[in-house]
Structure 1
């Protein structure tokens, strides 16, 4: 019996594709790299041979041969938020490490919760300069349209930390924020020993989908499992510690039974300062977001009771992998890109990690 290519244990090569399709190696190379000058019928024949052989292209080797460099842009909110600062530091660190993989990372800042400026930045992205962008910003119709337009130019798009599901983004990189809110509700409900008190929820902005999703998950669990608590309307702190410090006294003066706080956003410096000044730092249950130097100190001192967090290194690595895979139209591992929800108490905090 004649042995066919399909019987071989070796991986099929471009030579096999050329032989099965009945074309030259140069033609196979043009099809694989989407270069012009090949008839539609020939392209179809080459693609049929690829499917028949089960050929999987080594994009890393191909990019090295072509001396391709991936240029990826991270659009971050302009804020003093410690989490964003840590994310930016991680991007810079990863950029140095990824230089050997022919990948360059850069960042640009848009004013926090300012969709118009975010749209302006997205609109200026040049497909000749960038292969992909990661967007960390609010979800509005104008942002949705800007994401669609930049994708139509051939730029890969992922949403980072806060999803943009109504846009045509390729992937979302971040924790499941609804599940994060549910987790916070379980922690506060159990830590507060079912006292029939009031729970304050601090949010950054009602434009931020991650904050809205966290509130949705929080309310769902509180209503179903801890109905004796009164959950107050969200306090919008705009991730600004000074603004939060100004707003909190009136909230506590009006509501005398606050026994728990879910801080789903940043600006925790103002919250910590207020609780300490009022002597409430050991009396009110507080669950916050993101393990930063500030929240670490608050957790150690007992001002915070728990922190829900996501790993900035994983966020950046996942965004890079997904943007490169999208740019190459290559497969990816969904399990590897799933961002885990971490829960920290003062007893299980990991050592502070220095980014070099």
Structure 2
């Protein structure tokens, strides 16, 4: 059985209330006392009750809420795959997508309540500190979809986002073809996601290297929100009626597509986006969206569950990363 708070308090020479404050990351405890409590809890096996094998592994995933269909598909895959395994008890928490303090608070709430955690992490000091604090308790953490550096994470599950951005730039440049100065625009969910920042960097690099006649006239953050994407695209087309191309770094393809169709520019603007969902599939079929760079949520869910469960049990880690895939109207997969 896992040690209790009273066991830890007795061994550490402090009160149960102090142990509770430390394990739940509350203030009012000296740094030295905090270190003693954490080390005692680790020594007594409080954080690793399942590492000797057997039992049910409690895992928690913290994902952004909102209208991002890919995130919804990822959550569905995590829950569906976990439900088919008797050795896993998985909870998925949805938090405000672009609020680092809400995300950090949720991670702190997992202290003493989880054996492994997966998170789509905003690159923010509050989030990094919350991840460090959780990892200090012996909890393995993985990042999903968007990575974050300088934290003690177990690993990153997702595509190479810089390579994805370069691929998008190459596609857009080739589809637009040679010619005079051409205007293009970028949309991002939020550059506080390192993955979105890396995609932008990769995109800009390949455009400047190979397609110098393309001019990025605007970059708009749309918070992965369909309604905001619709409004921003309408304004963009009014400001730049000669716009030649759009690269959407994150979610919101359906809003951008609706604005392009209602303006009559669906066939005149080359549009490249991410993630094959039911919405983006329809945009590919009607010619509004020209190409989709896809990552497979089924694979990411599988790898996330496997990596965390293996880490908790002390088993060798295995990782089979998802591959980038470009999807056009002519090669839409059946499933």
Tell me which interval the TM-score lies in, with the shorter structure as reference length.
0.7 to 0.9
- Which of 104, 111, 114 aligns to 2:96? It is 111
Alignment of 1:258-273 (within 5 A): 258-273=243-258
Q: Deviations over 1:41-91 (max 9, x none)?
A: xxxxxxxxxxxxxxxxxx99x523xxx211111101011211111111111
**Residues in 1 aligned to 2:174 and 2:333: alpha-carbon distance in whole angstroms:** 23
Which residue of structure 2 aligns with residue 192 of structure 1? 176
Please provide the CA RMSD for this pair.
1.7
Alignment of 1:24-103 (within 5 A): 63-64=53-54, 68-99=55-86, 102-103=87-88
Q: Is 2:67–2:226's contact at 8 Å kept on the other side of the alignment?
A: no
Alignment of 1:130-145 (within 5 A): 130-145=114-129
Q: Is 2:248–2:274's contact at 8 Å kept on the other side of the alignment?
A: yes
Which residue of structure 2 aligns with residue 307 of structure 1? 292
User: Quick check: 144-153 or 85-94, which moved more?
Assistant: 85-94
For the pair 1:146 / 2:130, whether they are aligned, the reply is yes
Alignment of 1:183-222 (within 5 A): 183-195=167-179, 196-222=181-207
Shift of residue 302 of structure 1?
A: 0.7
Q: Is 1:185–1:222's contact at 8 Å kept on the other side of the alignment?
A: yes
Q: Deviations over 1:119-170 (max 9, x none)?
A: 000001033x311000013110110000000001111100110101122211
Which residue of structure 2 aligns with residue 18 of structure 1? none
Q: Secondary structure at the match of 1:130?
A: coil
Q: Is 1:298–1:304's contact at 8 Å kept on the other side of the alignment?
A: yes
Q: Secondary structure at the match of 2:85?
A: helix
Q: Is 1:194–1:229's contact at 8 Å kept on the other side of the alignment?
A: no
Which residue of structure 2 aligns with residue 160 of structure 1? 144
Following TM superposition, the consecutive aligned residue runs of length 4 or more in structure 1 with deviations greater than 4 angstroms are none
Gaps of 5+ in 1: 1-33, 37-58
Shift of residue 255 of structure 1?
A: 2.3
Q: Is 1:113–1:137's contact at 8 Å kept on the other side of the alignment?
A: no
**Residues in 2 aligned to 1:194 and 1:185: alpha-carbon distance in whole angstroms:** 14
Shift of residue 35 of structure 1?
A: 7.8
Name the TM-score, length of structure 2 as normaliser: 0.82
Q: Is 2:58–2:90's contact at 8 Å kept on the other side of the alignment?
A: yes
- Which of 242, 256, 260 aligns to 1:275? It is 260
**Residues in 2 aligned to 1:87 and 1:229: alpha-carbon distance in whole angstroms:** 34
Shift of residue 103 of structure 1?
A: 1.2
Shift of residue 257 of structure 1?
A: 2.9
How many residues matched? 288
**Residues in 1 aligned to 2:60 and 2:235: alpha-carbon distance in whole angstroms:** 41
Gaps of 5+ in 2: 1-41, 45-49
Shift of residue 252 of structure 1?
A: 2.1
Which residue of structure 1 aligns with residue 331 of structure 2? 348
Q: Is 1:144–1:168's contact at 8 Å kept on the other side of the alignment?
A: no
Q: Is 1:112–1:137's contact at 8 Å kept on the other side of the alignment?
A: no
